[in-house]
Amino acid sequence: MRNENQLRKHAKVQRRWNKNHPEYDKNYRREHKKQIQKAWRLRMSQSDNKLKWLFSCTKSRAKKKGIVFQIKSTDLPPIPKYCPVFPWIKMWLNFGAGHREDVPSIDRINFKKGYVKGNVRIISLRANKLKSNATVKELIALLEDAKRA
């Protein structure tokens, strides 16, 4: 079994080889899927990489949707231990385990401004989904229903 430094060295060599042999890259990925996933999980388990991963996924989504994206990874606040919107949700920092609602998500405070410095924060995926999908009328109806129960 390889240690962390060996995996990093192997990944670097593999990227260089793939660049020079693009026709084999697809076959290699198919044949070594589990090893690639293991190396990816190892990289994502390091705390500084989690913020970078969150940043790159958000940047990619913003580009696809045509949303303004003018921040750097250094502009992001650190990942909080608990969600600022729902303080009872403890942030789960194990990335790559599917779409859990307690994983961190980059939120645009004012969605009209886009991803600009001072307009982003990190909240739970559940809070971000509710914020993006629910209208004020729906949230009020949900609150009234909760009061009746």
What is the pLDDT, as a whole number, of residue 62? Answer: 92
Q: Of 65, 64, 69, 66, give the one whose Cα is nearest residue 106.
A: 69
Single-letter amino acid, residue 120? V
CA torsion 11→15→21→24, rounded to 10°? 50
Q: How confident is the model at residue 115 (pLDDT cuts 50, 70, 90)?
A: very high
pLDDT number for residue 38: 81
- Give the confidence band of 65 by pLDDT, cuts at 50, 70, 90: very high
Residue spans of the domains in the chain: they are 67-148
- Residue 69 binned pLDDT confidence (cut-offs 50, 70, 90): very high
**104: three-class secondary structure by DSSP:** strand
- Say which residue the tokens 């989504």 belong to: 61
What is residue 69's three-state secondary structure? strand
Band (pLDDT 50/70/90 cuts) for residue 91 is: confident
pLDDT at position 120: 93
Distance CA 138, CA 134 (A): 6
Coil, strand or helix: which one is 97? coil
